[in-house]
Structures are given as structure tokens and as C-alpha cells.
Amino acid sequence: MRVFGLIGFPLTHSFSKKYFTEKFENEHIPDCVYELFEVETLRRINFDKLKADNPEVAGFNVTIPHKQNILPLLDRFDSSASLVGAVNVVKKEGEEWVGYNSDYYGFMESLQRFLPTDFKGIKALVLGTGGASKAVEAALHTLDIPYSLVSRTAISGIQNPVLGYDELTSAIIENHQLIINTSPLGMYPNIDTCPALPYQSITSNHFLFDLLYNPAETLFLKKGKAQGAKTQFGLEMLHLQAEKAWEIWNQ
């Protein structure tokens, strides 16, 4: 029996267990199960205990708040994890536990499907600077899409300055056709929240991508669509990163 699972906290609304359980059933994949490992504080002692208590574990997914907490607990990293600076897939390779990042692949593939074929010259605003933004930043860098970060608190004097929401003018919105929400604003059950943007400046030339998948249309996307923007939510990315995780575990 091969055991896979998800490490994170909380895991009340986990996508992964349902997805992989259905995958194993629908694709007739034998001797595989997917479990939830809810860990509030991830340290060496409880990570080692989790592995010892589950000797058949072949790999983990990792979700908030542990995508960076897990870094010092692993033996080495794939180039994807090194590029992003965060891990959401762990694979047991012999006696080593190796970190990967499939969010990077999932987002990049979904974004390329969403944008027009010729997207050169487009600039992006990345809303949020948490763990989820790191895979987005890495993918944008790979695709050679210039971007600016936006957060509740502006940060200047660093290599990549962070804009505050209160600094977003109409001119900035007009100059950034791609707007990506990596923050939890608008996620169920808080569906009446959204990033504080000057939505009246969004036009039919804009592309709004929300990493959230529940609900399927966040208030952020609704407001953008009302202005004529093209919109995309995060379910496709989630499926793509899950399939990449499965590929990693089986390569």
C-alpha cells in the first residue's frame, strides 16, 4: 500500500483528499490511499513522528501555513522548489525526503492557457506577498512578464518594492493588464471581500486571475467581469498542480 497525504492547518475544506481519492477510483489505481495530516505547528520532532507513524507514506502535499516551514526539515530540493523558495510536494526518494513545487507548474500552465498567444509586453500586478505569491512570481519570471507586488503595507528600499493598495492609481491599473490575486480575500466563507482596487479603471483589455477556487467566481472576478475583463479562477491551476504532484511521485 502506498500512502500519500496533505500536511497543513486547518484542513477542513481540503481539495486534495477528494481529488486523489476519486482519481485512484476512476483510474483504477490500486493500493493507494490519500490521508489528511493536520499539523498546526510543523517542527522536526512532529515531522519525524508523522513519518515514523506512517511508514508507508511515499509522498506528501504541503499547504498553508507550512510551504516554507517545511524547508529546513527536508534533505534536498528540486530546482522548482529552489526557484520558488517554497515546497508543496514532498517525495520519499530512498532514505531522503525531497521538496518540489508543483504550484509553479500549475500556475504557469493555466496562465499560458488563459492569456492570448502573443502576450509579450503585458505587465502584471500580483496581489499579496504570502506563500502563494512565490510560485506566481517564479512563473512570471520564467515567462518574462514584468510584475509589481501589492500588499496592505507598502515596502520601499528593496530590490522589488511592494506597493500599498492605497497607492494604486488608475494609471497603474491601466499599465498592468494582468492582475493576479494570491491573497485569501474573497475565499469562502468570506465571499463578500475583495482586494481594494480602483475597479472602475479595469477595462476589456485586462486579464484577472484569482488563485482561489471556492467560490468559482470571487467578488474580485465579478467586479472585473462587470468592467469587461477576461477572468479565470484557480480550479484549473489546482488540477494541474495535483497532476504534476502525481507525476513527481511516480517518476
The catalytic site residues sit at 67
Distance of CA 118 to the CA centre of its chain: 24
* Cis upstream peptide for 215 (omega within 30°): yes
